[in-house]
Chain A
Amino acid sequence: MKATAKRALDAASGHGATYADARAVAMRNRSLTTKNGRLGHASESESLGIGVRVIADGAWGFAASADLSRASVEAAAARAVEIAKASARVKRENVRLAPEPAAVAEWTTPYKIDPFSTSVEENLDLLLKVDAEMRAVGGVTLSETGMNFQREESWFLSSEGADIHQTKYSTGAGYTAYAFAGAEIQKRSYPNSFGGQWQNRGYELIEEMKLLENARRVAEETVALHHAEQCPEGTATIILDGSQLGLQIHESIGHPIELDRVLGMEANFAGTSFLTLEKLGRLRYGSELVNVVADARQEHGPGLGTFAYDDEGVAAQSTPIITNGRFTGYLSSRETAHTIGATRSGGTLRAEGWNRLPMIRMTNVSILPGEKPLSLEQLIAATDDGIYMETNKSWSIDDKRYNFQFGCEIAWEIKHGKRVRMLKNPSYSGITTEFWNSMDAICSREEWTLWGTPNCGKGQPQQVVGTGHGASPARFRNVRVGSAYKGS
Chain B
Amino acid sequence: MLTQEQAADIFDRIRRFSSADEVEAIFNGSRFALTRFANNAIHQNVEEENSVVSIRTNFGGRTARSTANQFDDESLRRAVAASESLARVQEPDPDLLPMPTASEADVCEPSEKAAGGGARSTRAFTARFFEETATITPSDRAEVVGHIVSVADRHHLTTAGIYSTSESREGIFNSGGLARWHQQTLAEISITMLAADSSGWQKLNSPDVRNLDARRLAETAAQKAVESAHPREIAPGKYTVILEPAAVLDIVGFMFWDYSGVAILDQRSFLNDRIGTQLFGKNINISDDVAHPLQAGSPFDGEGMRRQRVPLVENGIVRRVVYARATAKKMRNSEYANRVGPIEPTGHGFPLPNEVGEMPMNIVFASPEAVSEKPQTVEEMIASTERGVLVTRLWYIREVDPYEKIVTGMTRDGTFLVENGKVQCGLRNFRFNESLISMLSKVEAMSVPVRACGEESFDMVVPAMKVGEFNFTEATKF
Contact = CB atoms under 8 A, between A and B. Distances in A.
Interface stretch (A44-52, A291-299, A377-385): A44-52
A185 B401 CA distance: 8
Contact of A488 (B50, B354, B406): B406
Select the residue from A40, A266, A405 with max chain B CB neighbours within 10 A. Answer: A405
Contacts of A40: 353-355
Contact of A180 (B191, B268, B406): B268
A141 B35 CA distance: 47
A407 B36 CA distance: 34
A89 B142 contact: yes
A274 interface: yes
A264 B160 contact: yes
A19 interface: no
B108 interface: no
B264 to A, nearest CB: 11
A63 B46 contact: yes
Given A39-B93, A264-B158, A141 B39 contact: no
B32 A461 contact: yes
B23 to A, nearest CB: 15
Contacts of B185: none
Interface stretch (A199-207, A281-289, A390-398): A390-398
A216 B292 CA distance: 48
A267 B433 contact: no
Contacts of B16: none
Nearest to B83: A44
A321 interface: no
Query: Binding site of B, secondary structure by majority: helix, strand, loop or mixed?
Result: strand
A459 to B, nearest CB: 8
Classify chain A: how many residues form its interface, as a range.
Answer: 35 or more
A66 interface: yes
B44 interface: yes
Given A120-B85, A185-B403, A38 B93 contact: yes
A427 B400 contact: yes
Contacts of A45: 54, 66-68
B418 to A, nearest CB: 21
A394 B194 CA distance: 29
A241 interface: no
A82 B69 contact: no
B47 A483 contact: no
Interface string B37-50: 11111111111111
B3 interface: no
B410 interface: yes
Contacts of A82: 138
Contacts of A46: 67-70, 75, 78-79
A92 B85 contact: no
A268 B192 contact: yes
Interface in B229-275: 238, 266-268, 272
A480 B473 CA distance: 11
Contact of B64 (A42, A47, A48, A266): A42
A121 B158 contact: no
Given A44-B82, A398-B476, A485-B400, A39 B48 contact: no
B353 A39 contact: yes
Contacts of A349: none
Interface string A159-194: 000000000000000000010100111000000000
A407 B400 contact: yes
A148 B446 CA distance: 45
Contact of A487 (B39, B42, B473): B473
A268 B191 contact: yes
Interface stretch (B362-370, B377-385, B390-398): B390-398
A141 B429 contact: no
B474 interface: yes
B404 A486 contact: no
Interface string A12-53: 000000000000000000000101101111111111110100
A394 B67 contact: no
Contacts of B266: 35-36, 141-142, 178
A20 to B, nearest CB: 15
Interface string B396-423: 1111111110101110110000000000
A71 interface: no
A180 B86 CA distance: 32
Contact of B91 (A33, A39, A61): A39
B146 interface: yes
A303 B142 CA distance: 39
B160 A267 contact: yes
Contact of A264 (B39, B42, B78, B191): B39
Interface string A393-419: 111111110110101000000000000
A42 B160 contact: no
B45 A483 contact: no
Interface in A239-275: 263-269, 271-272, 274
A429 B432 CA distance: 12
B65 interface: yes
A486 B194 CA distance: 32
A80 B50 CA distance: 16
A64 B49 contact: yes
Nearest to A357: B46
A48 B74 CA distance: 14
Contacts of B33: 83
Contact of B431 (A90, A92, A405): A405
B438 interface: yes
A194 B455 CA distance: 20
Among B35, B42, B398, the one with the most A-chain Cβ atoms within 10 Å of its Cβ is B42
A87 B37 CA distance: 9
B240 to A, nearest CB: 15
Contacts of B412: 271, 398-399
Interface in B64-108: 64-70, 75, 78-79, 82-83, 85-87, 89-91, 93
B206 interface: no
A274 to B, nearest CB: 7
A394 B408 contact: yes
A486 B47 contact: no
Contacts of B201: 268
Contacts of A86: 35, 42, 45, 137-139, 141-142
Interface in B333-385: 353-355
A264 B38 contact: yes
Contacts of A39: 90-91, 93, 353
B65 A399 contact: no
Interface string B156-192: 0010111010000000000000000000000000111
Nearest to B403: A185
B34 interface: yes
A90 B37 contact: yes
A137 to B, nearest CB: 15
Given A42-B65, A42-B86, A396-B397, A484 B268 contact: no
B154 interface: no
A268 B34 CA distance: 14
B34 A460 contact: yes
Interface string A64-88: 1111000000000001101110110
Given A39-B91, A488-B438, 12 more contacts: A36-B266, A49-B50, A64-B46, A64-B47, A66-B69, A93-B41, A267-B160, A269-B190, A396-B397, A398-B476, A403-B410, A460-B36
Q: 8 closest Cβ contacts across the A-B interface? A: A86-B138, A403-B476, A45-B67, A40-B355, A267-B160, A180-B267, A42-B64, A64-B48
Interface of A: 33, 35-36, 38-49, 51, 59-67, 79-80, 82-84, 86-87, 89-93, 119-121, 124, 141-142, 144, 178, 180, 183-185, 263-269, 271-272, 274, 355-357, 359, 393-400, 402-403, 405, 407, 425, 427, 429, 431, 460-461, 480, 483-488
27 contacts: A36-B266, A43-B86, A44-B67, A48-B70, A60-B43, A60-B45, A66-B49, A87-B142, A90-B41, A92-B39, A120-B86, A144-B355, A180-B267, A263-B39, A266-B160, A267-B194, A267-B199, A269-B190, A393-B400, A394-B399, A396-B397, A396-B398, A397-B396, A398-B476, A405-B408, A484-B406, A485-B406
